[in-house]
Amino acid sequence: MAEAEIAARLVAKFEAAGASRIEPGYLQSADVLLDLYGEDIRARAYTTHDPVHGEQMLRPDFTVPVVRTHMAERREPARYTYAGPVWRRQDYGSTRAREFWQVGYEVFDGADPAGADAEVFALISEALGHVPEAMTGDLAFLFVAIEALQTTAARKAALRRHVWRPTRFARLLDRFSGAAPFACDTRDLPGAADGPHLGMRSAVEIEARLAALRQERDTPDLSREEVAFLRAVLAVKGASPACVRGFQAIAREFSALGAAIANMEARLEALAKRGIDVEAVQFDASFGRASMEYYDGFVFSFGDLASGGRYDALTRVLGDGQPVPAVGGVIRPGILAQLEGGA
C-alpha cells in the first residue's frame, strides 16, 4: 500500500477516535523552534531567510505548530490529527531520511493525564497492528531527581538543560560531585576591570559571568549519596511493573519520587484497562534522552515506526506560563508502507 494511502487510513482512524484534523504551515519561525528544540536542531533542519519574517525553518516535526494552534484557541479537552511531510536529517537504521511523512495524534486534556498517556499509546499500537516491541520511559523521574538535589539552582538548571545530552550530563555530574576538577579552582578569578576590554561583551556582562564562575567554584560538591541516587534512578530498566517496584525501593530512601511513581502506576492501570499487557511493555528510565528536547514525562517508541510522549513544559512556554497537559505521538507511514509491502 502506498504511503499516502496509509496516511489517509491512519488519519481516518484518529478522526474516528475524536480528533480534529489540522494542517500547520510548512514554514515556521526558526527562532521559536530553536528556543524549544535547542540549537542542535539547526544541524539537522533546513532554514531560510525571509526579508519580512526573518529566519524561517521547514517544519522539522508537527508538535510545536500543533501546540501553537491549540494555545491560540485554548479549548479543552482537544484532540488533533495531521498528516504531511517534515524536513530534518534523521537516521532510521541504515537509512538516512531528509524528507518524510508523519501522521500524528495529539491530546490536550488535564482531567486524566495517565489516561491520556494510555489513550495515545494504545491507539497508536492498535493502528500499527503487528509491530516491534514497545519501549517506554518517563523523563519525569530524572527531572524530579534533579530537583531533589541539595545544590544551587544554577547547577540544577545545567543538569536539566543537558538531560538530552547524556555524555555532557555525565561530565557535569562528575564535575559537580568533585570526580572531575573545576578548571578555576586553584586560583582567584580576575575581575572585569583587570586587563584590556576586548570583544562585544560589556563590563557588566563580563562581571556577571565571572560571578557565576566564582559561585560554581565555591559550591560544595554533591554528596556520594545524591550521585548514587541519580544513577540508581537512571539504571531502572525492565518490565514496567518490575520497574515500579524498583523505583519504590529507591523511594524508601529518597521520597521525592512518590508522585512520579503514582503517575506511572496510574498509567499502567489505564493501559491494562485498554487491553495492553503491561508485563510485556518494557521500560528504561534513560529512554527518551536522545529525543526532541520538549518531552518531559512519559515517552514511548515502536522501533522506527512510531514514537511520542508527554510535553507539558512545551505548552507552558507557548502558553505564556499557562500550561495544558498534553501528550501525542507520530507514525511514519513510509516505514509502515515498506513493512506492509514486504509482508
- The answer, yes or no, to whether residue 190 has pLDDT greater than 60, is no
Confidence of residue 94 (pLDDT cuts 50, 70, 90): low
Q: What are phi and psi of 34, to 5 degrees?
A: -65, -40
- Interatomic CA distance for residues 65 and 184, integer angstroms: 43
One-letter identity of residue 92? Y
Are 17 and 77 spatial neighbours (Cβ–Cβ below 8 Å)? no
Q: Is the dihedral of CA 157, 161, 166, 169 positive or negative?
A: negative
From the CB of residue 18, how many other CB atoms can be counted at a distance below 10 Å? 14
What is the mean pLDDT of the segment spanning 185-203? 57
Summarised one tens digit per residue, pLDDT across range 37-61 is: 666 666 677 777 778 777 788 888 8
**Coil, strand or helix: which one is 212?**
helix
Please, what is the average pLDDT of the chain?
85
Distances (CA, A) of 70 to 3, 57, 64, 138: 27, 20, 10, 24
Only one residue has cell 508537527, namely 62
pLDDT per position as a tens digit, 198-231: 566 776 776 776 776 677 677 888 999 999 999 9
Report how far Cα 235 is from the mean position of its chain's Cα atoms. Answer: 18
325 vs 189, more confident: 325
pTM: 0.86
Q: Which domains does the chain have, with CATH numbers?
A: 3-24+61-139+236-342 (3.30.930.10), 144-191+200-230 (no CATH)
Q: How confident is the model at residue 186 (pLDDT cuts 50, 70, 90)?
A: very low
Which DSSP state fits 276? -
Q: How confident is the model at residue 91 (pLDDT cuts 50, 70, 90)?
A: low
pLDDT at 34: 67
pLDDT mean over 255-278: 96
Determine whether 320 is exposed, middle or buried from the number of CB atoms within 10 Å of its CB (0-12, 13-18, 19+).
Answer: exposed
Residues 6+ apart with CB under 8 A from 127: 10, 13, 14, 331
Q: What is the mean pLDDT of residues 240-245?
A: 98
Q: Is it the case that residue 233 has pLDDT exceeding 80?
A: yes
Beta strands in the chain (DSSP E): 20-21, 27-29, 47-50, 54-58, 78-92, 95-108, 135-138, 237-239, 282-284, 298-302, 306-310, 326-331
pLDDT for 18 beyond 90: yes
pLDDT of the residue at 194: 57
Name every residue whose Cβ is closer than 8 Å to that of residue 38 and which is 6 or more positions away in sequence: 164, 293
Residue 290: per-residue pLDDT: 74
pLDDT computed for residue 185 by the predictor:
46
* Minimum mean pLDDT range among 21-25, 107-111, 205-209: 205-209
DSSP 3-state of 206: helix
